[in-house]
A and B are shown apart, each in its own frame.
Chain A
Amino acid sequence: MARVLITVPEHAKPGEVIEIKTLISHPMETGYRAGADGRPLPRDIIRRFTCSYNGVEIFRADLFPAMSANPFIAFSTVVTETGTLTFTWQGDNGFNQTETATITVS
């Protein structure tokens, strides 16, 4: 399991715009480098990141080999109701990680 750091405000008002920040540990190996033995290192990257809010997808990003290791993704959304944010990272070699965060709206 990769280490993940997610920053979401615990409380927000309806209609408020909040910033969501995510950081995940991942080597993001490009597939273009050679290892110490001279052989190419196979590509190992995260391909897709999605975030859904109470089951509705609100943000999606495709990732590519040029992106740095331990990718940091920040975005914003409008708060509508109390609920759960689900974050999913999917990538090469069957990489699939899901994390959740809750937000209370009042």
Chain B
Amino acid sequence: MMIVMRPLRRWLGVLAAGGLLFAAAAAGEMPREERRSGFDFMSDATKAMQRDDTLNPGMLWLLEGEALWRRKAGSANRSCADCHGEAAASMRGVAARYPTYDIREARAIDLQGRVNACRVRHQDAPPFGHETPELLGLVAYVANQSRGMAIAPDSDERLAPFRENGRRLFNERLGQLHFSCAQCHDDLWGERLGGSVIPQAHPTGYPIYRLEWQAMGSLQRRLRNCLTGVRAEPYAYGAQEYIDLELYLMERARGLALETPAVRP
């Protein structure tokens, strides 16, 4: 019954708005009070695993990140800490507002992109590869400094076109199965896909330790999973599409608490 109800309500919303396209998009988005982190959809055992830092395998990556934060690197022979000091103070709140606008590249960049930009520009070191323990560890360590804080996206106006592109991608049908992100995560969350509960797709705890992966992974890796799930060809790692999607997803998750390092099934 519920499967029918939500899309129905969506279309009723469209009709009430007189068929305006703009209103249709707004009607499809979930009301703020219904927003729930993926954490709420998990089993008690997996929740316990995330809550307890002595049990959460993501903490192993965090340890790596903390060591890297203090280690000098590159021909500049400089560590993150040499410029930024204690991460607990300087990095607090950073992950809650990313992605942000990078003036030099004139585009939106995510936290991973920022870490690698810092390495190239200020440490004179080669960037870390995608999904390496070094990059995941550093990003997790930085994001962990904002744990418990509400997601508060950057209000920089230059981000608007990128965020709008993310919204478009989220609502665009893709792949051989011809599904959009919104069809599952706006309309059918709480229902089941095979044996798994469909969550609302809020990026509240990235990088996450995913039990299916037996490892930590970035939001980009997770989005690639969804893309191959609808049998679309995933964008290459680091593609602007992922960052645009992240911008939109963070706006959509505004106000939810950050959980890094989250554990997901």
Residues on A lying within 8 angstroms of B by beta carbon are: 3-5, 7, 21, 23-25, 27-28, 68-70, 72
Residue of B nearest to A5 (CB): B59
Q: How far is the CB of A1 from chain B (nearest CB, A)?
A: 10
In the complex, which residues of chain B have a beta carbon less than 8 angstroms from the beta carbon of A25? 57, 60-61
A5 touches B214 (CB 8 A): no
B214 touches A23 (CB 8 A): no
Question: Which of the residues B54, B57, B63, B211 comes within 8 Å of A21, measured between beta carbons?
Answer: B54
Known pairs A4-B60, A21-B55, A70-B60 / 17 extra A-B pairs, C-beta < 8 Å:
A3-B60, A3-B61, A3-B64, A5-B59, A5-B63, A7-B54, A23-B55, A23-B60, A24-B60, A25-B60, A27-B214, A68-B211, A68-B214, A69-B57, A69-B214, A69-B215, A72-B57
CB-contacts of B39-76 with A (<8 A): 54-55, 57, 59-61, 63-64
Residue of B nearest to A72 (CB): B55
Kindly state the separation between the CA atoms of A21 and B59 in the bound complex, as whole angstroms.
14
Q: How far is the CB of B5 from chain A (nearest CB, A)?
A: 38
In the complex, which residues of chain B have a beta carbon less than 8 angstroms from the beta carbon of A24? 60
B215 touches A23 (CB 8 A): no
In the complex, which residues of chain B have a beta carbon less than 8 angstroms from the beta carbon of A7? 54
Residues on B lying within 8 angstroms of A by beta carbon are: 54-55, 57, 59-61, 63-64, 211, 214-215
21 contacts between A and B (CB under 8 A): A3-B61, A5-B60, A5-B63, A21-B54, A21-B55, A23-B54, A23-B55, A24-B60, A25-B57, A25-B60, A25-B61, A27-B214, A28-B214, A68-B211, A68-B214, A69-B57, A69-B215, A70-B57, A70-B214, A72-B55, A72-B57
Q: How far is the CB of A18 from chain B (nearest CB, A)?
A: 13
In the complex, which residues of chain A have a beta carbon less than 8 angstroms from the beta carbon of B64? 3
In the complex, which residues of chain A have a beta carbon less than 8 angstroms from the beta carbon of B55? 21, 23, 72
The main secondary structure of chain B at its interface with chain A is mixed
In the complex, which residues of chain B have a beta carbon less than 8 angstroms from the beta carbon of A4? 60
Given contacts A23-B55, A23-B57, A72-B55, contact A3 B214 (CB under 8 A): no
In the complex, which residues of chain A have a beta carbon less than 8 angstroms from the beta carbon of B61? 3, 25
Residue of A nearest to B211 (CB): A68
Residue of B nearest to A28 (CB): B214
In the complex, which residues of chain A have a beta carbon less than 8 angstroms from the beta carbon of B59? 5, 23
Q: How far is the CB of A4 from chain B (nearest CB, A)?
A: 8
In the complex, which residues of chain A have a beta carbon less than 8 angstroms from the beta carbon of B214? 27-28, 68-70
Q: How far is the CB of B48 from chain A (nearest CB, A)?
A: 12
Kindly state the separation between the CA atoms of A72 and B211 in the bound complex, as whole angstroms.
13
Q: How far is the CB of A3 from chain B (nearest CB, A)?
A: 4
In the complex, which residues of chain B have a beta carbon less than 8 angstroms from the beta carbon of A70? 57, 60, 214-215
Kindly state the separation between the CA atoms of A23 and B59 in the bound complex, as whole angstroms.
9
Kindly state the separation between the CA atoms of A92 and B60 in the bound complex, as whole angstroms.
21
Kindly state the separation between the CA atoms of A69 and B46 in the bound complex, as whole angstroms.
15
Kindly state the separation between the CA atoms of A17 and B86 in the bound complex, as whole angstroms.
37
* Residue in A27, A69, A70 whose Cβ sees the most chain B Cβ within 10 Å: A70
Kindly state the separation between the CA atoms of A25 and B63 in the bound complex, as whole angstroms.
11
Kindly state the separation between the CA atoms of A39 and B60 in the bound complex, as whole angstroms.
29
Residue of B nearest to A71 (CB): B57
Residue of A nearest to B213 (CB): A69
Kindly state the separation between the CA atoms of A7 and B55 in the bound complex, as whole angstroms.
10
Question: Which of the residues B54, B211, B215 comes within 8 Å of A5, measured between beta carbons?
Answer: B54
